[in-house]
Every structure is written in C-alpha cells, then in structure tokens.
Amino acid sequence: MFMSKLAPTSIKYIIRASINAKGVIEKPDVIGAIFGQTEGLLGADLDLRELQRTGRIGRIDVNIKSEKGESYGEIIIPSALDSAETALIAATLETIERVGPCNAKITLKSVEDTREIKRRYVIEKAKQILKDLLEKGMPDTARISEELKESIREGEITSYQGLPCGPDVLDSDEIIVVEGRADVINLLRYGIKNAIAMEGSSVPKPIIELSKEKIVTAFFDGDRGGSLNLKSLMNVADVDYVALAPEGKEVEELTKKEIFKALRDRVSAEQFKSEKERVANNVTKRGKRVVKRRHVKLTEEQRNLFKKTLDELMGTRAACIFDPEYNLLGKVPIKELSTVLMTLENPFAVVLDGKVDYKLNWIAKKKGIKYLIGTSKEDIITTVNIITRDEIEGRDQK
C-alpha cells in the first residue's frame, strides 16, 4: 500500500487525517505544507524530513479531490516510531492552517495500531476457518476446540514445591488456596493468577508456610467435601478470609460471575468461625442477624491520648504509631502505613485518620499490635482491639 522506505514489517502505526481547503490544491501542496509548517515544532529529533530520511516515517500518501472551488481528501502517514512519538507527529497535523495559497483545515481521524489490525484479521480468518470446519461436519470440532482452550489455560499453570498454582503466587501479597488443579485452571480462565491447590485432603507444608507470609483466602467447594477440606486447612494454616462456591457447586465449574461474587462476598476467618460456632455473639433484630460489638475498656489516659491524636490527625490522611509505653514511634501517610508497620519492631497502638480495614487488621495480628484506632471500621471480628472515634467519645456507632 505504501511505497516508502519503511518495510511493511516495521510499520507500527498508521496516521489518518482529513483535509478541507477553500480553493483548489494538489498533492504536492499538501506534502509541502506538512513538511514546512511542522518544521522545528517538535525539535530536531522529531523533524519529519529527518524521520523520513532515516526510515522511521514512511512516504506521506495524499488523496485529494477538488469540486466547486474547494478541495478535500485524506492524508495517510505510516510510522515506525513508538506510540508517544507517533501521537506527537499526529497532533502536529492539526496545527497546519494553510496549504498553498488556500486556507485549510486538517483534522486527525485516527491513529491505527497495525498489530490490532492484524489481530482482527486473524480473528476473522479463524472464524471463517471454524465455519468451514463446522460446515464440513467434523464430529470432533467441539472437543478439539475445548482441548485447545484447555492447553492455553494449562500453559499458564506453574508449580510451587510440587503444588499446581498460578504464575503470580510468589509475587502477590495475597493468595487463594483452592482444592485442586482444575480449580486453579478455572480461576486462570478469568484472569486470577494467584491461586494454589492443596491437591488432597491433607494440607501440604508449603501452603502452611505461605500462610505465614501472605494474606490467605480459602476458596472451596460448596459441598461436604469442601467443608471438610476447609476445616483441615483452618486447623493448621493462618487463613485470613473464607469464600465458598454456591451450595452444591464446585469451584472448577463456576462461571466468571459466580467466581467474582464469591470472592467479593468473602468473610474474615474469625467471622466465619464465629458464625459456625453459632449465636453467642449474635442477636436477632427485625429478622436480620446483627453482630454484637465488643466494647474495649480504656483507661482515662489511653482515652485522652487516642482522642487527642485523632483530633490532631483530622484531615491529614496520616497515622501515628506508638510503642507499649505510648512513646510516638512515627507519623506516616496512610498509604505508607502497611509497609512501615511491617518494618517496625514492637508497635503497640496505631491511630489513623481513616477506616480500619481487613488488611490493616491482618497486619496488626501479624505484628502483635494491641490497639487500632480510626475514624471508622469495617465489620471485623478479631482479637485486635479496634476502636472508633464514636466509641472513644461515648457515642453509639451505627
């Protein structure tokens, strides 16, 4: 299509623009205006003449027509530059105001990624091939297609000390423990790459060790087998959250919507255990289950310190960290709080201008922090003393 110094394989993008001129113009007028009026605009490194000489911009193709004293047409420029440089070149076209003796307006229409064009071609070609195969009545088409999909998914599976897992298990702060290899494959199908399988009813040592370092969500089948395997895992590993497949279903057969809903509805391990142990901390109100809140007793000195610190932090989105003697260890932005806490020895209390969430509670348990004081809190059942501003000031928190 393009007779230029660019080899077809080196073209990454195609710039397309429309041109309208009040008068009769020809192709050389347009090309001259592009070179002349963009010269020096982006500096020597992005000078069009130099880029074309070195083969990074192809020959500018102009299709122009004239009717009733006006001219209109299309400008096409192939580019081997990167996306940012190509975008700059494309943007300069709209700065051109005259072509030859005429007022003109150039409008950028698109910057096409030639790789996307090739991908679309491949997809359309594959559709046609599949259509031809189906029309020929090949009996094993569905099976072959499923085998191809399965091989692609299995290609992403790796292993950790012999256990099937997704490729992100070691690099991720959070992992999802499932029952078997098929569960890992199904999660990979929908882009979840941090799952690892137990591969049996006994809990492997590698999973126990990983649970000491990472935030763990147990995601098991919604049947008796899943319940028993979950119990085994929670007896020996440090599980932070529990998610279950819908009753009677297995994780390996769930749809994308069912998987993400189950993970979104996960509960803390403490809350799961509490619910399983029945209603010692529950009351019934208007037909709904309400968790009774655990009231934390504070000394007058503690209450005054925490209230004063909360007042000083208001609007700062920061947190103060105290040691067991209530000496201030440091004040940090909330976005850095998790990282800082993991590096400190013996933090005792944290007061923050923000909500106490599940992740902060998990870190507090890992580091032995006794008090977390925030403006509000998620509905967490935990051994850590979590206190809100309303509770410090003696108001009921809704």
pLDDT tens readout for residues 183-238: 999 999 888 999 999 988 889 999 999 999 999 999 999 888 888 899 999 999 99
SS3 24: coil
352 and 308 assigned to the same domain: yes
Structure token pair of residue 12: 């990454």
Q: Which residue has the tokens 């492997």?
A: 204
Residues 24/66, Cβ–Cβ less than 8 Å:
yes
Domain that holds residue 346: 300-392
- pLDDT tens profile 7-56: 555 788 999 999 999 999 989 999 999 998 888 888 888 888 888 888 88
Assessment of whether the complete model's pTM goes beyond 0.95 = no
CATH number of the domain encompassing residue 255: 3.40.1360.10
272 and 151 assigned to the same domain: yes
Q: Is residue 260 part of a domain?
A: yes
Would you state the pLDDT for residue 140? 59
Q: Is residue 72 part of a domain?
A: yes
340 and 255 assigned to the same domain: no
Residue 284, pLDDT above cutoff 60: no
Structure token pair of residue 235: 């007896």
As a whole number of angstroms, the distance between CA 243 and CA 267 comes to: 7
Structure token pair of residue 140: 């094993």
244 and 195 assigned to the same domain: yes
Residue 143, pLDDT above cutoff 90: no
Question: Among 13, 20, 17, which residue's Cα sits nearest to residue 108?
Answer: 17
As a whole number of angstroms, the distance between CA 305 and CA 198 comes to: 46
Burial of 47 (C-beta count, 10 Å sphere; 0-12/13-18/19+)? middle
Residue 178, pLDDT above cutoff 60: yes
As a whole number of angstroms, the distance between CA 44 and CA 39 comes to: 9
**360 Cβ neighbours under 8 A, 6+ residues apart:** 337, 338, 350, 352, 372
Confidence at 396, pLDDT banded by 50, 70, 90: low
Residue 4, pLDDT above cutoff 50: no
> What is the C-alpha radius of gyration for the chain, rounded to an integer number of angstroms?
32
87 and 152 assigned to the same domain: no
Total structural domains in the chain?
Answer: 3
